Chains A and B, each alone.
Chain A
Amino acid sequence: MSRAGMKLQLQHLGLAALAIAAVALPAAVIARQSAAPVGLQPVSAFAGIADPAARSAAIFTEMGKVLTHPRCLNCHPRTDRPRQGDAMALHNPPVVRGNAKGEGAPGLQCSTCHGPRNVAFANGTGSIPGHPLWHLAPIEMAWQGKSLREICEQLKDRRRNGGKTLAQIHEHNANDTLVGWGWNPGPGRTPAPGTQAQFGALTKAWIDTGAKCPT
Chain B
Amino acid sequence: MNAVANRRAFLAGAGGLAIGFTLPSGGARAQASGAALAPNAFVRVGTDNSVTVVAKHVEMGQGPSTGVTTIIADEMDAAWDQMRFVFAPANDPLYKNLMFGTMGAGGSSAIKESWMQMRMAGAAARAMLVEAAARRWGVPASAMGVRNGVVSSGSHKATFGELAADAAALPVPANPTVKKPDQFVYIGKKFAKLDSRAKTDGSAMFTQDVRLPNMVHAAVRRPPAFGGTVKKVEAGAAKAIPGVIDVKPVPSGVAVYASDTWSAQRGAAALEVDWDLSKAETRSSAQMLAEYSAAVRTPGTQVETTGNAATALARAAKKIDATFYFPFLAHAPMETLDYVIEKKGDGIAVHAGSQFQVGEMRAMCGVAGVPFEKSELIQHYAGGSFGRRATPAMFDASEAAACARAYGFAAPVKVVASRENDLTGGFYRPMTVHRVQVGLDANGEVSGWDQVCAAKSIMKGTPFEAMGIKDGVDGNMIEGANDTNQYRIADFRLGQHLMETPVPVLWWRSVGHTHTAFVKETLIDELLAMAGKDPVAGRLALLKHERAAGALRKVAEISGFGKRAIAKGRALGVAVHESFDSYVAQVAEVSVGADGLPKVHKVWCTVDCGIAVNPDVVRAQMEGGIGYGLGHALYGEITLGEGGQVLESNFDTYRSLRIGEMPDVEVAIIPSAEKPSGVGEPGVPPIAPAVANAWRRLTGKAVRRLPFAHGDNA
State the A residues within 8 Å of B (CB).
Answer: 3, 7, 14-16, 18-29, 90, 92-94, 122-125
Is the CB–CB distance between B286 and A18 below 8 Å?
Answer: yes
Chain B's interface size range is 35 or more
Is the CB–CB distance between A16 and B286 below 8 Å?
Answer: yes
Could you list 8 further interchain pairs (A-B, Cβ under 8 angstroms) beyond the known A20-B641, A22-B710, A24-B639? A20-B285, A21-B710, A24-B647, A27-B652, A90-B595, A92-B655, A93-B658, A125-B420
Which chain B residue has the least Cβ–Cβ distance from A92?
B652
User: Closest CB-CB distance, B221 to chain A, in whole Å?
Assistant: 10
Q: List 21 A-B contacts (CB under 8 A).
A: A3-B711, A7-B711, A14-B642, A18-B285, A18-B286, A20-B641, A20-B647, A21-B639, A21-B711, A22-B710, A22-B711, A23-B709, A24-B637, A24-B639, A24-B648, A25-B647, A26-B652, A92-B651, A124-B266, A124-B269, A124-B270
Does B579 touch A at the CB level, under 8 Å? Answer: no
Cβ contacts under 8 Å, B284 to chain A: 15, 19
Complex alpha-carbon distance, A57 and B270, angstroms: 47
Decide yes or no: A23 and B653 within 8 Å by CB, A15-B641, A90-B595, A123-B418 being known contacts.
Answer: yes
Complex alpha-carbon distance, A94 and B657, angstroms: 11
The proximity string for B residues 306-333 relative to A, scoring 1 for CB distances below 8 Å and 0 otherwise, is 0000000000000000000000000000
Is the CB–CB distance between B289 and A18 below 8 Å?
Answer: yes
Complex alpha-carbon distance, A28 and B652, angstroms: 11
Which chain A residue has the least Cβ–Cβ distance from B262?
A122
Complex alpha-carbon distance, A93 and B714, angstroms: 23
The proximity string for B residues 686-714 relative to A, scoring 1 for CB distances below 8 Å and 0 otherwise, is 00000000000000000000010111001
Is the CB–CB distance between B639 and A20 below 8 Å?
Answer: yes
Is the CB–CB distance between A26 and B647 below 8 Å?
Answer: yes
Cβ contacts under 8 Å, B269 to chain A: 122-125
Cβ contacts under 8 Å, A22 to chain B: 709-711
Which chain B residue has the least Cβ–Cβ distance from A89?
B652
Q: Which of B603-659 contact A (CB under 8 A)?
A: 635, 637, 639, 641-642, 647-655, 658
Question: Which has the most chain A C-beta neighbours within 10 Å: B595, B641, B650, B652?
Answer: B652
| Among A15, A90, A94, A123, contact of B649 (Cβ-Cβ < 8 Å) | A123
Cβ contacts under 8 Å, A24 to chain B: 637, 639, 647-648, 653-654, 709
Which chain A residue has the least Cβ–Cβ distance from B637?
A21
Complex alpha-carbon distance, A16 and B642, angstroms: 12
User: Closest CB-CB distance, A62 to chain B, in whole Å?
Assistant: 33
User: Closest CB-CB distance, A106 to chain B, in whole Å?
Assistant: 15
Is the CB–CB distance between A122 and B265 below 8 Å?
Answer: yes
Complex alpha-carbon distance, A125 and B653, angstroms: 13
**Closest 8 pairs (CB-CB, A-B):** A124-B269, A122-B265, A18-B286, A26-B653, A19-B286, A21-B710, A23-B709, A122-B266
Which chain A residue has the least Cβ–Cβ distance from B418?
A123
Which chain A residue has the least Cβ–Cβ distance from B707?
A21
Complex alpha-carbon distance, A26 and B653, angstroms: 6
Cβ contacts under 8 Å, B266 to chain A: 122, 124
Complex alpha-carbon distance, A78 and B541, angstroms: 52
Which chain A residue has the least Cβ–Cβ distance from B261?
A122
Does B290 touch A at the CB level, under 8 Å? Answer: yes
Which chain B residue has the least Cβ–Cβ distance from A91?
B652
Complex alpha-carbon distance, A24 and B418, angstroms: 19
User: Closest CB-CB distance, B667 to chain A, in whole Å?
Assistant: 27
Does B596 touch A at the CB level, under 8 Å? Answer: yes
User: Closest CB-CB distance, B632 to chain A, in whole Å?
Assistant: 12
Complex alpha-carbon distance, A14 and B287, angstroms: 12
Is the CB–CB distance between A23 and B655 below 8 Å?
Answer: yes
Does B345 touch A at the CB level, under 8 Å? Answer: no
Cβ contacts under 8 Å, B289 to chain A: 18
| Among A14, A18, A25, contact of B653 (Cβ-Cβ < 8 Å) | A25
Which chain B residue has the least Cβ–Cβ distance from A122?
B265
The proximity string for B residues 476-516 relative to A, scoring 1 for CB distances below 8 Å and 0 otherwise, is 00000000000000000000000000000000000000000
Complex alpha-carbon distance, A90 and B660, angstroms: 15
Cβ contacts under 8 Å, B635 to chain A: 21, 23
Complex alpha-carbon distance, A28 and B641, angstroms: 13
Is the CB–CB distance between A19 and B596 below 8 Å?
Answer: no
Is the CB–CB distance between A21 and B709 below 8 Å?
Answer: yes
Which chain B residue has the least Cβ–Cβ distance from A29?
B647
The proximity string for B residues 92-119 relative to A, scoring 1 for CB distances below 8 Å and 0 otherwise, is 0000000000000000000000000000
Cβ contacts under 8 Å, A28 to chain B: 649
Cβ contacts under 8 Å, B653 to chain A: 23-27
Which chain A residue has the least Cβ–Cβ distance from B263?
A122
Cβ contacts under 8 Å, A26 to chain B: 647-650, 652-653
